[in-house]
Amino acid sequence: MGVVSRFVVAALALLAATSTAHAQHHKRLKVAAREKPAPPEQPSIVAPVVVEPVPPLPGMTLAAGTVLVHTALEVSLSQDSPVAPASLAPDLSVGVTDDLTLALVESSSALTGFRGASGAGFCLTGDGNGKCRTSYAGGGFEALYSLSRGELSVAANAGLLATTIDPVHTDLKLGFKMKLTRASSYALFSPSIWYALNDRYDRIVPHKDQLWLPFSIWNKLTPSFALGVGSGFKGPLQGLATKWSVPLGVLMQYSVDQRVSVGWSLVFGRVVAGSEVMDPGVDARVLQIWLSVASR
C-alpha cells in the first residue's frame, strides 16, 4: 500500500474516532442536564393586591350590626302646668343591613318627627289633671329602608304604632326621612301620615288620621357642635283647614365622639294655628334633653 493510501486510511480512522468521542460527550451532557436539580424558585417582588370593600356613603339608615339607643327627657314648660307632664322615652334601633334599620320607637321625636311635645314613653309626674294621661303613653315598631345616599339621603319609613294605651289606638305610619347636606350645613325633613286603624269614631279620645311635616335646618359651628332651628306643619287630615298648627324651636347637639351625642331643644308647640286650635302662641312650650349612644 502506498504512502497516500496509508494516509487516507489513517485520516478516516481518526475522523471516526473523533465523531464517536463527540457523540459520547454530547450524550453525557444530556444526561447531566436531566439529572441537574432545578434552580430554586425566586420570590416574587410584587406584593399581592388586597381589595378592601368600599364603605357605603352616609345615609339615613344604620350600618349593618350597629345598635343605637336614643333616650329623651321630655318636660312641659307651659305656664299653666310647669314641669308636668314630664316623661322619659327610649328608642332602640338596629341596623339589620346597611340599607334596612328596624326600630322600637317611643319618643315624640321618633314617632312624629317633632320635639314640641312631652309625655311620650314613661311618665315621671303621675297621671291626672295637667299631668300624664297614662303612666305609659305608647310606642311602636318601625322600618327604615334606604333609597339614596350621599348629599341627598332618602329612606322610606313605615311602622305600626300604638298611639294611646287607654284606650288602645293603633295607627299605620307611612312616610319618608330625608337629609340634604351642603358643606357644614344640613336640612332634615320627615313627612309622614298616621292612618287610624281602629276606633275611628271615639268621641272621648279622638282617633283621626294625622299629617306630620317636620323639618329642621342645622349648621355645624364646629365638627362636634351643631345648632338648628326646627318647625313644620301638623294636624288631623279631617278638618285640617281649621285644626292645623305650626311649631317653632331651637335645637343644639354636641357629639362627644363618633358613638355618643347629647342634645337639647326648646320648642313652642303651636306658634300659629288654625281657628279651632286652643291657645296658639308661645304658652305651649317643651324642653327636651336627649342622649344617643351607638355601638360603633
Domain membership of residue 210 as a residue range: 67-294
The average pLDDT across 176-189 equals 97
Does residue 66 register a pLDDT over 50?
A: yes
The band of 45, judged by pLDDT with boundaries at 50, 70 and 90, is: low
Please give the pLDDT value at position 4. Answer: 41
Q: Can you spell out the DSSP letters for the chain?
A: --HHHHHHHHHHHHHHHHHHHHHHHHHHHHHHHHHSPPPPPPPPSSPPP--PPPPPPP-SSPPTT-EEEEEEEEEEE-SSSEEEEEEEEEEEEEESSSSEEEEEE-SHHHHHS-------SEESS-BSTTSBSSSB--EEEEEEEEEE-SSEEEEEEEEEEEEETTTTEEEEEEEEEEEEEETTEEEEE--EEEEE-S-TT-SSS----EEEEEEEEEEESSSSEEEEEEEEEEEESTTHHHH-EEEEEEEEEEESSSSEEEEEEEEEEEEEE-TTSSS-EEEEEEEEEEEEEE--
Please give the pLDDT value at position 129. Answer: 65
Count of domains in the chain?
A: 1
Per the domain annotation, does 24 fall within a domain? no
Q: What is the CATH number for 130?
A: 2.40.160.40
Per the domain annotation, does 152 fall within a domain? yes
The average pLDDT across 55-83 equals 92
Please give the pLDDT value at position 202. Answer: 77
Per the domain annotation, does 6 fall within a domain? no
The band of 155, judged by pLDDT with boundaries at 50, 70 and 90, is: very high
Least confident interval from 36-45, 54-63, 66-75, 210-219: 36-45
Please give the pLDDT value at position 38. Answer: 55
